[in-house]
Amino acid sequence: MKTLSVVILILAAFNVNAQDYLTRNGNISIYSHTDLEDVKGNNNEVVSLLNSATGSFDFKVAIKSFHFAKAAMEDHFNDENYMETDKYPKAGFSGKITNMADINFSKDGVYTVTVSGNLSVKDVTKPVTAKGTITVKNGKVSIQSTFTVKRKDYHVMGQSFVQSKLSDDIQITVNCDYDKR
């Protein structure tokens, strides 16, 4: 009887300490800076899953949910010269925290992390490593990371005359607040 109650308690504890953290409204923004023009796109409908036991990180975004200040920018972003959204409606990232030993998901604090994995945009999947922070507070987990990718690596070419207005390096910023699943 005593054993059973201990097991139940442990089970309950494990459930509270479950390893899956999920968000349905994470934020990813993209940014290109040139002297001529700054382009910023924002997506507040990112779904992401973080497993605190294995350190695995997964993101999925709908390209259509990126919004821009100007309607024309948004049209262009989705068209066949850039993201080809009709053909490739989603992009994703799948990776792992490489320094799991430094992070204690059961203790409040701000942890510096490095995540390595594969970023899939359009028809290209390439390895990406990004630095960021994980904040644990009152059992909630949020992450923040900024990294840069080369858009041409992912076949985002653009028309020739916009090349001077669109940086080759696109800065990606991730901001997600997770809830326990």
Segment interacting with other proteins, rule: CB under 8 A, options 6-14, 95-103, 104-112, 132-140: 6-14
DSSP tag of 105: T
Torsion angle in degrees (nearest 10) through CA of 130, 123, 156, 176: -40
Distance between CA atoms of residues 119 and 137, nearest Å: 28
Q: Which run of H or E residues covers position 14?
A: helix 2-16
- In the complex, the smallest distance separating the C-beta of residue 128 from other proteins, rounded to whole angstroms, is 15
CB nearer other proteins, residue 112 or residue 164: 164
Q: Which of 62, 100, 103, 128 binds other proteins (CB under 8 A)?
A: 62
- The region of 67-75, 96-104, 112-120, 126-134 touching other proteins under the rule CB under 8 A is 67-75
Q: Which of 12, 16, 18, 110 binds other proteins (CB under 8 A)?
A: 18
Strands (E), the chain: 20-33, 38-51, 56-62, 67-68, 90-97, 109-121, 124-137, 140-150, 169-180
Among 82, 85, 167, 178, binds other proteins (CB under 8 A): 167
Contact positions with other proteins (CB under 8 A) in 120-149: 146, 148
